[in-house]
Amino acid sequence: MINRIVTAAAVAVFALAATAGAVSAAQYAWVDQNAKVKAKPFNVSATVNTVFEGQKVKIIAENGNWVKIKIPGMDGWVKSGVLDYAPFPNNNPWPNNGNGQVCFNGQYGYICIGN
C-alpha cells in the first residue's frame, strides 16, 4: 500500500515538474514576410505595429489562426501564416546571400558581416 502511494506521489511530482518547465519555456518564431500587427485577432482591428521579414518575435498567445506576439513597441496579433517556427529563419543557422557574408542571429533578428 505504501509502495503505491510513494509511486503515485513520485509520478505526480514528475508530471508537475515537466509541465511547469514546458509552460515557462518561451516560444519564438521568425517573421516570414512583412505584416501589420493588429490590436485584436481580427482583420478589421486597428493596426498597432509592424513586423518585418527576418524579425524574431516571442509568442505569448494563440487564438485560432492568429498569434499574439511580444515585440518592441506595442504587442499585438498577426496571422500565424506569416511566422516560421524553425529555430532559425528559413531553417538555416547561418543565413547569407551567397556572397561571403557571415550572419549572426540575435533576439530581434540577425546581422551580417562581410561583403
Question: Which tens digit of pLDDT belongs to each residue from 29-74?
Answer: 889 899 999 999 999 999 999 999 989 999 999 999 999 999 999 9
Separation CA 91–CA 48 (nearest Å):
29
pLDDT at 14 over 90: no
Q: What is the pLDDT of residues 75-113, one digit of tens each?
A: 999 999 999 887 665 555 555 455 556 666 666 666 667
Separation CA 63–CA 47 (nearest Å):
17
User: Domain range for residue 99?
Assistant: 27-113
Q: Has residue 15 been placed in a domain?
A: no
Q: Contact, 60 vs 69, CB < 8 A? A: yes
Q: Has residue 103 been placed in a domain?
A: yes
Q: Has residue 32 been placed in a domain?
A: yes
In the chain, at which residue ranges do the beta strands (DSSP E only) sit? 27-31, 35-38, 47-51, 56-63, 66-70, 76-79, 83-84, 102-106, 109-113
Q: Has residue 10 been placed in a domain?
A: no
Q: Has residue 108 been placed in a domain?
A: yes
CATH of residue 76: 2.30.30.40
For the CA atoms of the chain, what is the radius of gyration? 20
Q: How many domains does the chain have?
A: 1
Separation CA 107–CA 54 (nearest Å):
11
Q: Has residue 16 been placed in a domain?
A: no
Q: Has residue 5 been placed in a domain?
A: no
